[in-house]
Amino acid sequence: MGRSVKYTLEFCLNEIQGFLSILEGDEEWNYITWHDLVKSRPYPRQCISEWRTKFKDDEIFSDTIKKIEGELENRLFVMGLKNKANPTLVIFGLKNNYGWRDRTEVEHSGEMTLNDKEEARHKLAAAMAKITDPGTGPVSNT
């Protein structure tokens, strides 16, 4: 069994700032995921998540993480637009890692007047009463 390693804010901040510097100098876009950034480091990628939680109140640390996230998201998006990555993987990556989602649009035409709303409220109340009072509902054959 390995012993637990305690990472200091100073160490973690240096690592995160180093990742940001790598991204800023990476004109070839060799780094598009956290895995790409962490793979040569002596700790697993999961440490980044632990550090986020542990140092969430440190403004410099949090701001640096947000900049890295923004850059990685942008890279994934642009690679998808330029057809330099599998579109399905880009979609999954954006949805799973950056909160993107499909937008559902509902089109409504016409107006709903106060009387329409009141009538809908009465119909709903009547339907609810049937559910809660089985004596007024449909008769069953059993």
Give the model confidence (pLDDT) of 83-107 as tens digits: 999 999 999 999 999 999 888 777 7
pLDDT computed for residue 112 by the predictor: 62
Give first-to-last CA distance, the chain, whole Å.
64
User: Which alpha helices (H) appear in the chain, and where do they start and end?
Assistant: 9-25, 34-38, 46-54, 59-81, 87-98, 114-132
Which residue positions in the chain have pLDDT lower than 70?
Answer: 1-4, 112-114, 132-142
pLDDT score, position 107: 77
What the block records as the tokens of 74 is: 């942008």
Distance between CA atoms of 106 and 99, rounded to whole angstroms? 21
DSSP 135: G
Confidence at residue 134, expressed as pLDDT on a 0 to 100 scale: 52
pLDDT the model gives residue 132? 59
Q: Give residue 121's identity as a one-letter amino acid code.
A: R
